[in-house]
């Protein structure tokens, strides 16, 4: 926020709408082209922008900066307009004030992505975007605050988990200033002195800045920055992943180690990365045919269900269960914790897998993004030419992106970075959890990281095979 | 040579084509099933009386079903009356869509497409 130009932009009250507006226009273009443009995915803006450029830019921005996509989220701009007409009356149900619903939706999106081959259908991609807009309007039309962002949005949850590894965070500059502050505008909102009406909103995600830790649940909306009367909140640099290594009480969240729902989210984030990549390599078809024969299934859904159950239920039960048991056995004898339950142990250390998962998402999404980087040019040329005015010239379909062998080196780099990050975070967790014998606590989880990293590397070297016809071949 | 044969749309449609144009296009692809690498696409163009259509210009475009993959282009040469052949490279395994851009000898243009599903890896 001290950077000339950029700082004053973010401090400006209308910075967010300014960033949201272009993305809203882009979303509308994608919807229209998805519905009425070419049916071939490589020639349509909806599929090209959604599944190549958006995902690639998203993970790179999360890696290099922070959760700036949520800041520029176009869905929230529409929500703001809608809330001028309809004021929400209800509070989000207490039973749903956790991540379980969004974990389920995250898995559902991964499942439908594979089942309906969303990447190959501009039409379905357009409907997915429209469904998102509709969901935001319905949820935040009925429920107060940022219920959709905090409890529903699967993209937001992805961003929250990934941004725990980002180098920037919205936080206070000096705690002393907050200690002396009596108005707490960052959470209550800035109010008119007489009428007590809120003029600048406080945090809608219940993150009280003085006790906020890390990026989890922070949409970078900058409401707190604008509300703070002391200019004491900014976008500040920090050590990536540092928030995963400790377990302090976090405002709006509680303790990570007691949040099974957030641990489940972290697990789906990590294993979902492998699952999503597994869906695009050749061995998946042999596995699917084998499962289909076993089940006598002629439809893809039950076969995919088995694969998802293996990746998201059986695999974590085996790997994390074994690692937790080993940790308890090896460490327990020394400090008298041999009666520790396995589940809290697994929850505690699951956060160490997040860097590995993010490495895999980076490798996967950047493969598509970088190898298809320039395809946006001919697709845009074609879209404009189809309007009868080829202002950008005839489509240059030969434009693609970086060579696959160059991108593969970058992919290996991301996977190594993720592996190293997971080892560092896991060791930090082991030191925090078992200060007497951190190495013993660390080794089982390091082995889990190694297994998952080897699986990621194996996946990356498999021949890619993009098919929408899994069961027929 | 194992090959699959399919007949594409009988009456021309959608694109700028004379309304009375009637073209049947049969296609074969070799090897079958297609694998990563070069493939030979053979097309047989006939009119409503099943007579070969000669002198057509046929441009072939191969697209993957996934965005981000550049299309592959080839031109088909007439090897026998009404029979056109082209070599097209499949650089990646998966589902491909083949677009045919046909210009008949009288200048009329047609577009057709067919799927090549499950191109196998080597």
Q: Check pLDDT > 50 for residue B17.
A: no
Question: What predicted TM-score, i.e. pTM, was given to this entire model?
Answer: 0.91
- What are B's interface residues with A at a Cβ cutoff of 8 A? 33, 36, 61, 63-71, 73, 92-95, 97, 117-118, 121-122
Over residues A135-158, the pLDDT tens digits come to 999 999 999 999 999 999 999 999
Return the pLDDT at A1.
Answer: 64
Tell me, rounded to whole angstroms, the distance of Cα A166 from its chain centroid: 12
Q: Check pLDDT > 90 for residue A452.
A: yes
Q: Check pLDDT > 50 for residue B2.
A: no
Return the pLDDT at B120.
Answer: 87
- Test mutation, B35, B66, B115, B121, chain A, max A CBs within 10 A: B66
- Contact indicator for A448, A320 with CB cutoff of 8 Å: yes
Return the pLDDT at A335.
Answer: 53
> Which one is predicted more confidently, B22 or A26?
A26
Which chain A residue is nearest to residue B120, measuring alpha carbons? A465
Share of chain B above pLDDT 70, in %: 83
Cα–Cα distance for residue pair A277/A412, rounded to 1 Å: 14
- Contact indicator for A13, A237 with CB cutoff of 8 Å: no
Q: Which residues of B touch A398 (CB under 8 A)?
A: 70
Return the pLDDT at A403.
Answer: 92
Cα–Cα distance for residue pair A316/B7, rounded to 1 Å: 50
Which chain B residue is nearest to residue A373, measuring alpha carbons? B68
Q: Which residues of B touch A123 (CB under 8 A)?
A: none
Over residues A29-58, the pLDDT tens digits come to 999 999 999 999 999 999 999 999 999 999
Over residues B67-93, the pLDDT tens digits come to 988 889 999 999 999 999 999 999 888
Share of chain A above pLDDT 90, in %: 81
Q: Check pLDDT > 50 for residue B4.
A: no
Cα–Cα distance for residue pair A160/A246, rounded to 1 Å: 17
Over residues A1-30, the pLDDT tens digits come to 667 778 888 888 899 999 999 999 999 999
Return the pLDDT at A318.
Answer: 96
DSSP per-residue string spanning A222-290:
-HHHHH-TT--EEEEE--TTHHHH----BTTTB-GGG-HHHHHHHHHHHHHHHHHHHTTBTHHHHHHHH
Which chain B residue is nearest to residue A365, measuring alpha carbons? B68
Return the pLDDT at A468.
Answer: 60
Q: Which of A346, A141, A339 is nearest to A264 (CA)?
A: A346
Tell me B4's DSSP state. Answer: E
């Amino acid at each position: 926020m001290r950077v000339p130009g950029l700082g004053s932009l973010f401090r400006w009250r209308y910075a967010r709408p300014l960033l949201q507006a272009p993305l809203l226009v882009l979303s509308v273009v994608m919807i229209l082209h998805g519905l009425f443009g070419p049916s071939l995915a490589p020639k349509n803006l909806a599929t090209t922008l959604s599944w190549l450029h958006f995902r690639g830019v998203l993970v790179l921005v999360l890696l290099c900066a922070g959760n700036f996509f949520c800041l520029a989220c176009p869905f929230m701009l529409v929500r703001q307009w809608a809330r001028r007409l309809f004021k929400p009356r209800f509070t989000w149900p207490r039973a749903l004030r956790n991540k379980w619903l969004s974990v389920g939706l995250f898995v559902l999106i991964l499942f439908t992505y594979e089942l309906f081959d969303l990447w190959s259908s501009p039409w379905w991609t357009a409907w997915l975007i429209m469904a998102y807009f509709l969901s935001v309007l319905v949820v935040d039309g009925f429920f107060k605050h940022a219920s959709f962002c905090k409890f529903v949005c699967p993209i937001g949850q992805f961003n929250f988990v990934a941004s725990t590894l980002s180098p920037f965070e919205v936080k206070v500059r000096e705690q002393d200033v907050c200690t002396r502050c009596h108005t707490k505008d960052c959470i209550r909102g800035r109010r008119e002195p007489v009428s007590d009406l809120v003029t600048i909103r406080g945090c809608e995600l219940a993150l009280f800045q003085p006790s906020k830790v890390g990026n989890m649940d922070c949409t970078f909306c900058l409401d707190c920055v604008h509300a703070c009367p002391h200019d004491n909140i900014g976008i500040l640099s920090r050590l990536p992943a540092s928030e995963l290594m400790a377990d302090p009480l976090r405002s709006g969240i509680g303790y990570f180690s007691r949040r099974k729902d957030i641990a489940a989210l972290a697990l789906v984030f990590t294993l979902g990365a492998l699952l999503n990549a597994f869906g695009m390599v050749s061995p998946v078809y042999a596995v699917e045919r084998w499962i289909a024969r076993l089940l006598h299934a002629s439809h893809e859904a039950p076969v995919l269900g088995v694969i998802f159950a293996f990746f998201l239920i059986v695999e974590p039960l085996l790997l994390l269960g074994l690692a937790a048991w080993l940790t308890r056995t090896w460490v327990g004898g020394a400090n008298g914790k041999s009666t520790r339950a396995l589940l809290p142990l697994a929850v505690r250390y699951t956060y160490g897998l997040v860097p590995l998962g993010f490495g895999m998402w980076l490798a996967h999404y950047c493969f598509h993004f970088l190898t298809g980087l320039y395809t946006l040019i001919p697709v845009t040329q074609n879209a404009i030419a189809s309007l009868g005015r080829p202002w950008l010239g005839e489509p240059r379909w030969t434009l693609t992106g970086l060579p696959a062998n160059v991108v593969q080196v970058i992919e290996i780099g991301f996977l190594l970075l993720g592996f190293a990050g997971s080892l560092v975070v896991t060791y930090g967790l082991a030191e925090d959890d078992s200060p007497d014998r951190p190495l013993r606590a660390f080794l089982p989880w390091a082995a889990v990281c190694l297994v998952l990293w080897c699986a990621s590397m194996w996946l990356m070297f498999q021949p890619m095979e993009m098919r929408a016809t899994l069961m027929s071949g | 040579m194992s090959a699959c044969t399919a007949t594409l749309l009988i009456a021309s449609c959608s694109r700028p084509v004379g309304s009375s144009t009637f073209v049947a296009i049969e296609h074969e692809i070799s090897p079958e099933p297609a694998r990563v690498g070069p493939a030979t696409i053979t097309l047989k163009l006939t009119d409503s009386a099943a007579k070969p259509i000669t002198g057509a210009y046929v441009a072939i475009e191969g697209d993957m079903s996934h965005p981000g993959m550049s299309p592959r282009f080839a031109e088909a040469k007439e090897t026998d009356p009404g029979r056109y052949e082209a070599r097209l490279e499949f650089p990646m395994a998966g589902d491909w869509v083949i677009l045919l851009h046909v210009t008949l000898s009288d200048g009329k243009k047609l577009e057709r497409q067919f799927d090549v599903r499950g191109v196998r890896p080597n």
